Structure 1
Amino acid sequence: MEEEEETVAEVCGLCLVSPSRYTCSRCNVRFCSLPCYRSAPHRSCSEAFYRRAVLEELRRRCPFADGTMRDILLRDWQSRAAPGAEKCLAGSQDEEGDGSLELEQSSGALDLRGDLLEEGERQLWARLSPQEKEEFQRLLTGGGIGALVPEWEPWWERHKAAQLVLEEGVNEEGRDREREDAIQEAAVIKQKRGPALQKCTSEVTEITGSLLQGKENMPPIAATIPRLSTLTHTPSPLVPFSVINVLYAYTFSLKLYNGDISDDFMLQEFCETVLGVSGVLNSRQVFNSTAEALQAGVLAVLSGRYTSDPRRPSEAMKSVAHVLMGENKASQKTYTLAALSHLAGLLRNGKKQLEKEHKKKLFEAQKKCEFLLAWANEHEEILMFLAVEAQTEFRIHRDGLKEIDIITKELEKAWGGKKPPEKKVLIQELD
């Protein structure tokens, strides 16, 4: 799949509605987006693409990590090896049973592994039995093939072991007062922060996620962040909620694509998803609270049909809390700065791949991210309050989904199915 740079945009050859932006490298049909690429008329090409991706992933993994695969490859090597190899193979297996010698000590096995890694996807596909091929096709058609691809571990879920997040039980009146003060004047927050937190209950918990040391895979923070005073004289007190909305779109989109936006096509899809989810970046929407900013993101995800998993929209709320928490209390703004820097860079790179009429939208979104980056860099003390609110909204949304699920199951049980029974006609008019 490669993007064509044409001055005249053709109509998508699959949906016949939207302007086409990409060309399938297999059949050369022009298409507009990932849903069209995955649609039924184009299933043969899309399945071949995903099959190749999965096979490459399987080939990348060490074939000797699994005992079953190792035995299969050993038998294949035995059938193709030179005379005398059977004896060598038997000795190798006996020593392995004693745990005294690894298979890699055999030079023949090393050559075998090298040969297998060099084989193309057709050879690897040919090694599967008819039953394995049938199972693979079933997974591919049903969508279960995604389970074979390792799930991406977001970098923002890694915190120092001592990092804590306030849970429910916060004094509502005190929290609202402190939030208002935080938005209006950062200096006031620094003075009132201690007494305000003492009003909270002692109920605290470590945020879910891996409590790991270090910042592996964290995107780099922009080398130069302008002073906020050079961008605006008096920033709006509603800017924090714009940060919330943008972080929601960023974390949701990155997890949606499993953290892989390495090629141009996926980068374009990522940028389009971010703009579709974030009202701040797409239409200059303004929010008055953390709840409003997060709920707008959830509604955009549901209306845009980006995912069929009902947990993803609410999980993105928790991801926002992770980012706002930072790595630890000493460097709380680190993750927020890294996320906004990363998003601004992705929008900048995505802009280079678009036609002229679409570049303006990404350019404006990039500049908004850079403004929010400057704001977050100078308002670190507000981020914890935003993290607490995001965590609370996640919990409320999660509990609401649980209640809906319980009610749905009760109704289905009463109906005897997923739909209510048809009402019986009580009075029927006779001719």
Structure 2
Amino acid sequence: MSEEAPLNSSQRICGLCNCKVSKYCCPRCEIFYCSLDCYKSEKHVTCSERFYRDCVNNELASYQNDEESRNKMIDILKRMNEELGEEQAGEIMENIDELDSDDDIEVDLHERIKDIDLDNADHVWDALTEDEQNDFEALLNKGDVGSILPQWEPWWMYRRREKKIQNVGGTNKKEEEALKKCPLLRDVPKLSSLTTIQPSPAIRCNITNVIASYAFVMRYFNNEIDPVEATIYILNICDSLDNNMNFCNPITALESVAQKCLQSNLIVTDEISLDVMKQDTFLILQGPSKSNKMHYCKAALSHLHTIFSEAKSNSKTKKIEQQTKGVFSKKFPEHKSEHFPKLVSSKISKCIKKIEYYLSYIESYSMESE
């Protein structure tokens, strides 16, 4: 917008509180707003509710028809009942016998969803009782949908405590289990086979910028990653990949991601989430242990390589299928993506090559400043 025409003062004022300067733009209704409180305010409740509904719709549609996903679905529905019970049914919560009835609910849910296609949100919706449907809508209207979704624990949270005396040749079982949860490492050629030019010290900071963007997006989508959408979001906040920007120090590289998140038209976040992103980046750079410090960096870049490769493939072959809407789909509008920038195949290919280069660099050098 700034390239087309300068913004006047009225455009910069929050369209919801009409007081503060706007920082964000709602991707749905395109109204400018200044904070998360305004985004959730009464004036914007219709639009924000649709956002939460779409989140749940996507969550329901993402499940696979197996025992693990059925248990996950049951856990979501039980949390929904518990959340509503705490605030809207205090008398029931005080009755211990009523709380024990959750076991019956779990068995009943197992029976109702065991033979349905959990990839179809309308089928799941039809399997719910009228009371469960009403409770579900009530929870969405409150904007507390996040409280019923299982929170993902990132694979980079483990860090082995270093002891003054280590067993020679010994293995750490906890570290071995932690490494199994990491994305598979990608094999890359040695850096010397790719170039004879001495790498710039800025590469370490650029890698930090990429990893910070990856960590934020993984948390933002709670590990429910769609390759095309994740690639769009990462490019939206990662200047190293999107604009080939070089950073002179890691603090600037981190702060760049934070500022891009705050300025993004796609992302709604806050300072707490950005602090978590910075801590996640630190943990990834530290690695699972002192002797295996680069493993998390390699895992993050390897996963990022996979995401971009799948996005490149999907953006070429993905076709929009026209489907008959069921009751659930009609009630909750589909997620619109017209505001998403278009993915350019040639640009994704260059990003993939850059990620491969960064992986080769880590294989040959460390992330420590010289």
How high is the TM-score relative to the length of structure 1? Answer: 0.53
Letter in 1 for 2:298: L
| 1:287 matched residue in structure 2 | 247
| 1:362 matched residue in structure 2 | 348
| 1:240 matched residue in structure 2 | 204
User: CA-to-partner distance for each residue in 1:298-341, whole Å, 9 max, x for gaps?
Assistant: 11011015123321112111111111111111111111111111
| 2:284 matched residue in structure 1 | 323
User: CA-to-partner distance for each residue in 1:326-379, whole Å, 9 max, x for gaps?
Assistant: 111111111111111111121111112225971112111111111111111112
Which whole-Å CA distance do the structure 2 matches of 1:45 and 1:314 have between them?
24
User: CA-to-partner distance for each residue in 1:253-305, whole Å, 9 max, x for gaps?
Assistant: 111111111xxxx2211101111111010001111111111111111011015
User: CA-to-partner distance for each residue in 1:39-73, whole Å, 9 max, x for gaps?
Assistant: 96797798377247349878434859984322346
| 1:69 matched residue in structure 2 | 102
Letter in 2 for 1:151: Q
Asked if 1:252 is matched to 2:209, the reply is: no
| 1:144 matched residue in structure 2 | 144
Q: Is contact 1:54–1:148 with CA below 8 Å preserved after alignment? A: no
| 2:4 matched residue in structure 1 | none
Which whole-Å CA distance do the structure 1 matches of 2:235 and 2:222 have between them?
18
Give SS of 2:139's match: helix
| 2:59 matched residue in structure 1 | 53
Which whole-Å CA distance do the structure 1 matches of 2:136 and 2:186 have between them?
43
Aligned-pair identity in percent equals 21
Task: Choose which of 343, 346, 349 in structure 1 pairs with 2:310.
Answer: 349
Task: Choose which of 215, 218, 222 in structure 1 pairs with 2:179.
Answer: 215
Give SS of 2:262's match: helix
Q: Is contact 1:159–1:212 with CA below 8 Å preserved after alignment? A: no
Letter in 2 for 1:299: Q
Q: Is contact 1:60–1:117 with CA below 8 Å preserved after alignment? A: no
RCO higher in structure (CA 8 A, sep ≥6): 2
Q: Is contact 2:155–2:178 with CA below 8 Å preserved after alignment? A: no
User: CA-to-partner distance for each residue in 1:206-237, whole Å, 9 max, x for gaps?
Assistant: xxxx9995323200111233334523421112
User: CA-to-partner distance for each residue in 1:377-409, whole Å, 9 max, x for gaps?
Assistant: 1123x34x69xxxxxxxxxxxxxxxxxxxxxxx
Which whole-Å CA distance do the structure 1 matches of 2:29 and 2:163 have between them?
43
C-alpha deviation, 1:250, in angstroms: 0.7
Which whole-Å CA distance do the structure 2 matches of 1:310 and 1:270 have between them?
21
Which whole-Å CA distance do the structure 1 matches of 2:278 and 2:51 have between them?
35
Which whole-Å CA distance do the structure 2 matches of 1:292 and 1:71 have between them?
54
Q: Is contact 1:161–1:212 with CA below 8 Å preserved after alignment? A: no
| 1:191 matched residue in structure 2 | none
Q: Between 132-141 and 333-342, report the one with greater CA deviation.
A: 132-141
Give SS of 2:304's match: helix
Asked if 1:161 is matched to 2:125, the reply is: no
Find the structure with the greater CA-based Rg. 1
Give SS of 2:344's match: helix
Give SS of 1:118's match: coil
Which whole-Å CA distance do the structure 1 matches of 2:101 and 2:210 have between them?
46
Q: 1:67 to 1:117 in 2, by over 3 A?
A: farther
Q: 1:115 to 1:161 in 2, by over 3 A?
A: same
Which whole-Å CA distance do the structure 1 matches of 2:237 and 2:144 have between them?
26
Task: Choose which of 109, 117, 121 in structure 1 pairs with 2:124.
Answer: 121
- How many residues are treated as equivalent by the alignment? 263
Which whole-Å CA distance do the structure 1 matches of 2:58 and 2:282 have between them?
36
Q: Is contact 1:241–1:289 with CA below 8 Å preserved after alignment? A: yes
Which whole-Å CA distance do the structure 2 matches of 1:346 and 1:289 have between them?
27
Q: 1:35 to 1:230 in 2, by over 3 A?
A: same
Which whole-Å CA distance do the structure 2 matches of 1:52 and 1:298 have between them?
26
| 2:324 matched residue in structure 1 | none
Which whole-Å CA distance do the structure 1 matches of 2:127 and 2:61 have between them?
8
Letter in 2 for 1:47: R
